[in-house]
Amino acid sequence: MYRLLFIVLISPVLCFSQNQDLDNVAGDLVFLTGQYVQPAAQATIYQSSSGWFKNAKTLELWDVDISIQGNLLFLPEKKKNFNVSEADLVNLRIQGDQTSVAIPTALGGESDVVFEGLINGEALEIDAPEGLNLSVFNYYQFQAAVGLWKGTTFITRYSPKIKINKTYYQVFGFGVQHNISQWIPSIDTSRFNLAALVSYSQYNVSDKFSPANLVLGTINSINVEGNSFLFNILVSKTVNKFDFTAAIGLTKSKFTYTMGGDGEVLLTVLNRALSTLDGDETNFKSDLGVNYNFNKFSINSNITFGAFTNLVIGLNYTI
Q: Give the Cα separation of 61 and 147 in Å (integer).
A: 5
The distance from CA 29 to its chain's CA centroid, rounded to whole angstroms, is 22
Buried-state track 94-130, b at ≥16 Cβ within 10 A, e below 16: beeeeeebebbbbbbeebebebebebeeeebebbbbb
Buried-state track 46-60, b at ≥16 Cβ within 10 A, e below 16: bbbbbbbbbbbbbbe
Q: Above 90 in pLDDT, residue 245?
A: yes
Residue 27: per-residue pLDDT: 72
Residue 160: per-residue pLDDT: 86
Q: Above 80 in pLDDT, residue 243?
A: yes
Beta bridge mates, 143:
67, 157
Which of 67-76, 147-156, 217-226 comes out lowest in average pLDDT?
217-226
Q: Above 50 in pLDDT, residue 214?
A: no
Beta bridge mates, 179:
195
Residue 208: per-residue pLDDT: 63
Picking from 192, 266, 316, 232, the residue whose alpha carbon sits closest to that of residue 48 is 232
* Domains (range + CATH), the chain: 5-318 (2.40.128)
- Cα separation values, 76 from 39, 88, 231, Å: 10, 25, 25
| pLDDT, mean of residues 250-270 | 79
Which of 14-18, 22-26, 101-105 comes out lowest in average pLDDT?
14-18
| Type of residue at 269 | V
Q: What is this structure's pTM?
A: 0.82
pLDDT in tens, 136-159: 988 889 999 999 999 999 999 998
Residue 219: per-residue pLDDT: 61
Residue 248: per-residue pLDDT: 96
| Structure-model confidence comparison of residues 166 and 229, the more confident one | 229
Residue 70: per-residue pLDDT: 94
- Rounding to the nearest 10 degrees, give the CA dihedral for residues 80, 101, 27, 19: 150
Q: Above 70 in pLDDT, residue 211?
A: no
- Rounding to the nearest 10 degrees, give the CA dihedral for residues 204, 205, 210, 215: -70
| pLDDT, mean of residues 84-110 | 88
Q: Give the Cα separation of 6 and 250 in Å (integer).
A: 34
Beta bridge mates, 171:
159, 203
Average pLDDT across the chain, whole number: 83
> Going by C-beta distance under 8 Å and a sequence separation of 6 or more, which residues neighbour residue 143?
51, 52, 66, 67, 68, 69, 155, 156, 157, 158, 314
Q: Are 73 and 307 in contact (CB under 8 A)?
A: no
Q: Give the Cα separation of 41 and 131 in Å (integer).
A: 13
Dihedral angle sign, alpha carbons of residues 35, 40, 42, 43 = positive
